[in-house]
Amino acid sequence: MLGRIAEFFIFGVMPLVVGILVPELSVAAEKTLKGEVTYRERIALPPNAVLFVQLANVPQADAPAAVIGERKMAPAGQVPIKFEISFDPQVIRPDMTYLLQARITVDDRLLFISDMRHHVDPLSDAPQTIMLKMVTSSEQPASAPVFGQSWLIEYIDGIGVIAEPQATFRISEAGKAGGNGPCNVYFAIAKVDGSTIAINDIGSTFKACAPEIMAEEKALFEALAKAATYHVDAGKLVIADKDGRVILRFNAAS
């Protein structure tokens, strides 16, 4: 009799308990960050607009930025646009800083972007609102050549908007590229063919600056190495990677 009772608990009750608990554990292992994206301009988005939202960490001097989770919405619809990003909460570290960054593109052309760092606690349940800034419209023509123009770096993927220290970028028709980074003078070889661009052999001087400045410079060099396409629009040079994701944005220096 005792043997049958033991068999019942082992082969009957225990599988039932495990079957109930395991799904709950798997659901608990994933967390969702919710929010909305909007902008101040009173204009409607084209029907083919695409929204990208990323949850990323702010890189330290010795490590690249890491995307924790992302969401692509195509079509984007109209603002305010609701979004949800699912991610593994176990990758969140208490000693790291995290931010949300978003952009809206139309036919791979940047239309809106988050121009300020939107810091966030990924483990908080508070809804987030990301305010975007209009970059250009599809009707605006290019207003500056890519060659021989000095560009001021405005945005670096994984870092966000760069204000100080001011960094520069320049490409010559001979294929030489470089400028003043956040800390060091840097140089590279650039190949431009139509709307494609490749930047290789990146080097720099060896001055040491504050860790956060070195992190910006590291992110700049990594983004330059990923450059695949570009366009010049409304006085801005926008560089994207092979997947069409905007990784660098520059303003034409006056």
Domains in the chain and their CATH numbers?
29-132 (2.60.40.2990), 147-250 (2.40.128.270)
Name the region of 129 (left: φ>0; alpha: ψ -120 to 50; beta: rest). Answer: beta
Contacts of 100 (CB under 8 A, 6+ apart): 33, 35, 53, 54, 55, 114, 118, 120, 128, 130
Q: Which residues of the chain have pLDDT under 50?
A: 2, 8-11, 13, 15-27, 62, 137-144
Which tens digits make up the pLDDT trace of 134-152? 875 443 434 346 788 889 8
Q: What is the pLDDT of residue 189?
A: 93
Burial class (CB in 10 A: 0-12, 13-18, 19+), 90: exposed
CA distances from 61 to 64, 91, 181, 210, 242 (A): 8, 19, 15, 9, 25
DSSP the chain: -HHHHHHHIIIIIHHHHHHHHHHHHHHHT-EEEEEEEEESS--PPPTTEEEEEEEEEPPPTTS---EEEEEEESS--SSSEEEEEEE-GGG--TTS-EEEEEEEEETTEEEEE--S-EEE-TT----EEEEEEE---TTPPP-S-SBT--EEEEEETTTEE--SS--EEEE-TTSEEEEE-SSSEEEEEEEEETTEEEEEEEEE------HHHHHHHHHHHHHHHT--EEEEETTEEEEE-TTS-EEEEEEEP-
Q: What is the pLDDT of residue 106?
A: 84
Q: What is the pLDDT of residue 232?
A: 83
Q: What is the pLDDT of residue 253?
A: 79
Angle value at C-alpha 48, between 44 and 54, nearest 5 degrees: 90
Whether cis (ω within 30° of 0) applies to the bond prior to 122 is: no
Angle value at C-alpha 163, between 158 and 169, nearest 5 degrees: 75
Q: What is the pLDDT of residue 4?
A: 55
Which tens digits make up the pLDDT trace of 29-61? 789 999 999 999 888 888 889 999 999 887 665
Q: What is the pLDDT of residue 84?
A: 95
Of residues 239, 233, 153, the one with CA closest to residue 196: 239
